[in-house]
Amino acid sequence: MGQQSNGFQQSVLLALDTKTGKLIESKELLHMAEDVLRDLRRSSVAGLHRSRVRDVEPRLRCALCNGSAHISMRHTEFGNRWFAHNGEVTDCPYRDYRRLSPNEQWALQYQGQQEGAEHKRLKFFIADWVEKDPRCSSVWRDKVRASELKRGEWKRPDVRAVIGDREIVFEIQLSYTFLSEVVRRDAFYQQENVHILWIFREFEPHREVVRDEMFYNRRNIFVLDADAEKETIKRNRLTFKCYYQTPALVGDGIIEKWHSRYVHLDELTFPVPEYRPYYRDFDTSVISLLRLRLIRAIMQWSRDRKAGGSTSISKAKVLSAWQALERKSGFKKDKFFFASDFLFDQLPKFLSIKYKRPIGYNYKMLWEVLNAILAMSISAPRPHNIQYLMAIHHYTPNLEAKHTQIINKHRADIIASIKRGENRYVRDQRFDEATAIVLPELRDKLENPWGVKPINHS
């Protein structure tokens, strides 16, 4: 049954039966047995609301746009059996049929069938090699994975396996998969605590579906091309070609570089709760570079300050570097946080301890900085001294024996003060999160709640 010219034009020429995995041409409906047709038609409209929105997985999908479809049997002089989209569809290639040549129509109609065979072959290739992994206890090929949390929800991944203590699904993308479908599958597997790997046949960074995946999955793209298949056979283990980006700091900017290498499953990181395996984490690398940029900017400001010249340019660069790191790290400041106090007062103290030399001070020796910031002889509140001692303990600067004794005595005095219920050394935490963003090695210590409140034994 071809396209019509009286307003009853076919809207779907090739449909996928999600239950059997079979591709069905619309013309096959004309010769389909009545009982088979009626059963398929009933299944195709099951779960449809009047708004044409499904609450269950559709039985039929358009083979090109992946939108849900049903069998229409409206009686006309042109016939009464065809596939139709559910609801209004504006982005399906079939809508452009009247502008395509006969050869283009033919190629488009059989695109799904041509890719169907390749898709099936790759599914079995992945499954067969996963099954050879000694850590693999179970593997399923194109089988339904029902939700363990929400009754009636399910997906049919290309390959599903249990490897070690992880459940992993492999989804193959040969042609365009709508982002909405990718998002739905990601959300489903995330709620089920299942890791999902999207596999491409080629690396095509200009395609929108590839770029969507690239930016969502930390700039990682996994490809199973002919070379990766050969490498799998050569290494006798499932091998993908991973394309990944790395950032580089050039001046005050960051550039991106593409790399590729063959990877095995045991070389990937399997993050929770994201459940999206990756080889290299681009975002974490960017944050590390932005930290470096900020520290370099503060050191330049410190040198300008010591030299007695203008610090307006270097100070502006410090603020710009912090703003970039703040955005990328997702830092959420409260109303008591002031960037200038943190960047030009608090942070230089920690950097002095880390790099074991005065930064932001005109002193010559680190001990002079420590003596000034701890102010041990002053009776006024010292709400950051606990954090300074945490940094000293972590970075272990080389101090003279007498200075180490003074530090240890001050530590003991703080402990005794907190135990007595005094407020003098109770921690002010307003800069702790920002400090941990710049100096992540201190995070565990800064998240320790000791000293946040006095210990009152009365």
Write down the pLDDT at residue 39.
84
The three-state secondary structure class of 246 is strand
Instruction: State pTM to two decimals.
Output: 0.72
Question: Cβ distance 92 to 62 under 8 Å?
Answer: yes
Write down the pLDDT at residue 106.
47
A 10 A CB-CB count for 45 gives 15
Lowest mean pLDDT, pick from 72-86, 261-275, 308-322: 72-86
Helix or strand (DSSP H, E) at 199: strand 195-200
Evaluate if residue 266 carries a pLDDT over 90.
yes
Cis peptide, bond prior to residue 93, ω within 30 of zero? no
Helix or strand (DSSP H, E) at 340: helix 339-341
Evaluate if residue 53 carries a pLDDT over 60.
no
* Residue 79: band (very low, low, confident or very high) from pLDDT cuts 50, 70, 90: low
> E strands, 237-389, where?
240-250, 253-263
* Residue 23: band (very low, low, confident or very high) from pLDDT cuts 50, 70, 90: confident
Evaluate if residue 177 carries a pLDDT over 70.
no
Task: Write the pLDDT tens digit of every residue in 184-241.
Answer: 889 999 999 999 999 999 999 988 888 899 999 999 999 999 999 999 999 999 999 9
Residue 369 CA to residue 353 CA, distance in Å, equals 9
CATH topology of domain 112-280: Trna Endonuclease; Chain: A, domain 1 (3.40.1350)
Task: Write the pLDDT tens digit of every residue in 411-422.
Answer: 999 999 999 999
Evaluate if residue 296 carries a pLDDT over 60.
yes
Task: Write the pLDDT tens digit of every residue in 312-369.
Answer: 999 999 999 999 999 999 998 888 889 999 999 999 999 999 999 999 999 999 999 9
Write down the pLDDT at residue 114.
42
Evaluate if residue 10 carries a pLDDT over 90.
no
Task: For the chain, give the percent of residues with pLDDT over 70.
Answer: 85
* Residue 456: band (very low, low, confident or very high) from pLDDT cuts 50, 70, 90: low
Write down the pLDDT at residue 20.
74
Residue 18 CA to residue 4 CA, distance in Å, equals 27
Write down the pLDDT at residue 51.
43
DSSP output for 400-447 = -HHHHHHHHHHHHHHHHHHHTT-STT----TTHHHHHHH-GGGHHHHT
Task: Write the pLDDT tens digit of every residue in 373-413.
Answer: 999 888 899 999 999 999 999 999 999 999 999 999 999 99
Closest of 413, 410, 419 to residue 392, by C-alpha: 410
DSSP output for 364-406 = SSHHHHHHHHH-TT--S--TTHHHHHHHHHHH-----HHHHHH
Lowest mean pLDDT, pick from 41-50, 110-119, 132-141, 430-439: 110-119
Which DSSP state fits 317? H
What single-letter amino acid sits at 201? R
Lowest mean pLDDT, pick from 11-25, 69-83, 120-134, 227-241: 69-83
* Residue 11: band (very low, low, confident or very high) from pLDDT cuts 50, 70, 90: low
Write down the pLDDT at residue 197.
97
Evaluate if residue 262 carries a pLDDT over 80.
yes
In the chain, domain spans: 14-99, 112-280, 287-446
